């Protein structure tokens, strides 16, 4: 047994120090990034792309706002992918779409789907067959595959990445999850272009509780980004972002992409059932309200004791190794496994576009605070300060709008 005494950091352990800046407005901040991937060898001649492709695709492998929707139920859906791709934001689809569904989705000449959507697989034989079918039958329109297993440290994972790389040089490989520099390097050397970083920080993850295994997410991002960039690779900070400020901290720590689950859950595009709950409050209806006949028009109703009844809408959300996910997709948990995910209700939030606007507004503002006119500059402009207190929560319980 060994103990490492160095202090490692989560997003909540730091703030970003403001700096003198000449930037006039948040509008001046460019959140687009361009990447050329290390191991991907496109088989098309990028000088002769079909008409209609924006010029940018002729130079770089990737150009967009580097936020990703996670391959989780209620987040990584086709509807989410189309909604986000229209804003040049990326989606990793859930692993559970069938080959036929994926072929139908990708077999269109829609450059947004090609450039902003990945299919996801594990390491099973079925997944290998599925990948081969989609590549063969989607008419060359599948560009990204996300190879996702909970523990990217198992030996067979790097071997599997190598096999996919050798068989499909013209596919961008996302692989994870890991949390240390040396394993990031190993996956990149095995053929991954983008390594997914994060073990245990997720909003509906209970790995740290069930196993005691994990790594503080901001430190993982900083270490893995450094290791990846040294080899010309890229990383995704996956999990643990609770607010736009955390997304900004992930980028500031060196993440090329930031993947979100919980922050994108609860929207129409996720496809979950909206559950309405009613709560009898202690608040009494006002006398003038009681005169009115049509309570529903007011958006408020009350019970026979005149207590206001509040309605709240929720959507179910769960970890992909929770009981709920295992029951839905595999008919239950295998008897040698325990659940490592939670099932929760998240507030229903309507269309995802508003949430995205809020997240992007936050990151733009971060950039103006530190004088970064491009997202690319954010990490260079960042000094993290370690803190004991992140924000003032005195009115958290009585907040009416954020
Ligand atoms: P969030 O953005 O919700 O904090 O984290 C999303 C990430 O949590 C996902 O992209 C995935 O890496 C991870 N995740 C999703 N489901 C589970 C689960 O059931 N168990 C664990 N350990 N991690 C999960």
Q: How far away, in angstroms, is 373 Cα from ligand 1 center?
A: 31
205 is known as an active-site residue: yes
Q: What is the pLDDT of residue 402?
A: 78
Residue ID of nearest Cα to ligand 1 atom 7: 239
pLDDT digits (tens, 9 = 90+) for 45-84: 555 555 555 544 445 899 999 999 999 999 999 999 999 9
- What residues are paired with 33 via a beta bridge? 64
- Tell me if 178 sits within 8 A of 187, measured CB to CB: yes
Is residue 52 left, alpha or beta, with left meaning phi > 0 and alpha meaning psi from -120 to 50?
left
C-beta of 73 in contact with ligand 1 (< 6 A): no
- Give the other-Cβ count within 10 Å of 5's Cβ: 4
Instruction: Extract the residue ranges of the chain whose pLDDT is less than 50.
Output: 55-58
- Spell out where 9-159 has E strands: 14-16, 33-35, 62-69, 89-92, 117-121, 144-148
C-beta of 217 in contact with ligand 1 (< 6 A): no
Q: With both helix axes pointing from N to C terminus, report the angle between 181-190 and 155-167 in degrees, rounded to the nearest 10.
A: 30
| 50: DSSP letter | P
Catalytic member of 205, 224, 241, 381:
205
Residues making up the chain, counted from first to last: 402
Q: What is the pLDDT of residue 247?
A: 98
Q: How far away, in angstroms, is 298 Cα from ligand 1 center?
A: 40
Q: How far away, in angstroms, is 314 Cα from ligand 1 center?
A: 19
C-beta of 74 in contact with ligand 1 (< 6 A): no
C-beta of 261 in contact with ligand 1 (< 6 A): yes
In angstroms, the CA 227 to CA 216 distance is 17
- Residue 118 φ/ψ, nearest 5 degrees: -115, 145
Q: How far away, in angstroms, is 390 Cα from ligand 1 center?
A: 23
Q: What is the pLDDT of residue 56?
A: 46
Q: How far away, in angstroms, is 116 Cα from ligand 1 center?
A: 20
Q: What angle do CA 233, 234, 240 make, to 5 degrees?
A: 145
C-beta of 320 in contact with ligand 1 (< 6 A): yes
Q: What is the pLDDT of residue 334?
A: 77
Closest atom of ligand 1 relative to the 263 alpha carbon = 2
Q: What is the pLDDT of residue 36?
A: 95
Q: What is the pLDDT of residue 46?
A: 55
- Tell me if 188 sits within 8 A of 162, measured CB to CB: no
pLDDT digits (tens, 9 = 90+) for 193-208: 999 999 999 999 999 9
């Amino acid at each position: 047994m060994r103990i490492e005494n160095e202090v490692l950091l989560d997003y909540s352990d730091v703030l970003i120090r403001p700096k003198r800046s000449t930037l006039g407005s948040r509008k001046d901040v460019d959140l687009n990034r361009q990447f050329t991937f290390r191991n991907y060898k496109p088989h098309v001649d990028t000088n002769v792309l079909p008409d209609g492709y924006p010029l940018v695709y002729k130079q770089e492998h990737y150009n967009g706002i580097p936020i990703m929707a996670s391959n989780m139920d209620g987040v990584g859906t086709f509807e989410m992918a189309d909604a986000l791709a229209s804003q040049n934001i990326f989606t990793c689809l859930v692993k559970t779409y069938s080959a036929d569904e994926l072929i139908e989705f990708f077999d269109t000449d829609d450059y947004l789907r090609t450039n902003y959507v990945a299919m996801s697989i594990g390491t099973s034989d079925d997944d290998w067959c599925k990948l081969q079918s989609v590549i063969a039958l989607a008419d060359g329109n599948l560009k990204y595959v996300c190879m996702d297993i909970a523990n990217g440290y198992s030996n067979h994972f790097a071997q599997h990445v190598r096999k996919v790389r050798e068989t499909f040089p013209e596919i961008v490989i996302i692989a994870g999850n890991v949390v240390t520099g040396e394993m990031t390097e190993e996956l990149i050397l095995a053929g991954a272009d983008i390594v997914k970083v994060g073990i245990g920080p997720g909003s509906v993850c209970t790995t740290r509780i069930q196993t005691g295994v994990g790594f503080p997410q901001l430190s993982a991002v900083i270490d893995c980004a450094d290791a990846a960039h040294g080899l010309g690779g890229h990383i995704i900070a996956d999990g643990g972002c609770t607010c736009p400020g955390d997304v900004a901290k992930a980028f500031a720590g060196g993440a090329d992409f930031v993947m979100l689950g919980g922050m994108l859950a609860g929207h129409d595009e996720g496809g979950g059932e909206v559950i309405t709950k009613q709560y009898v409050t202690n608040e009494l209806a006002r006398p003038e309200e009681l005169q009115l006949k049509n309570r529903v028009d007011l958006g408020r109703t009350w019970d026979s004791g005149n207590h206001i009844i509040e309605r709240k809408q929720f959507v179910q959300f769960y970890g992909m190794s929770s009981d709920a996910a295992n029951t839905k997709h595999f008919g239950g948990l295998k008897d040698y496994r325990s659940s490592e995910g939670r099932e929760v209700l998240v507030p229903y939030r309507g269309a995802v576009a508003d949430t995205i606007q809020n997240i992007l507004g936050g990151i733009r503002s971060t950039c103006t605070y530190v004088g970064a006119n491009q997202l690319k500059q954010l990490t260079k402009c960042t000094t993290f300060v370690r803190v004991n207190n992140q924000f003032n929560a005195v009115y958290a319980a009585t907040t009416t709008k954020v």
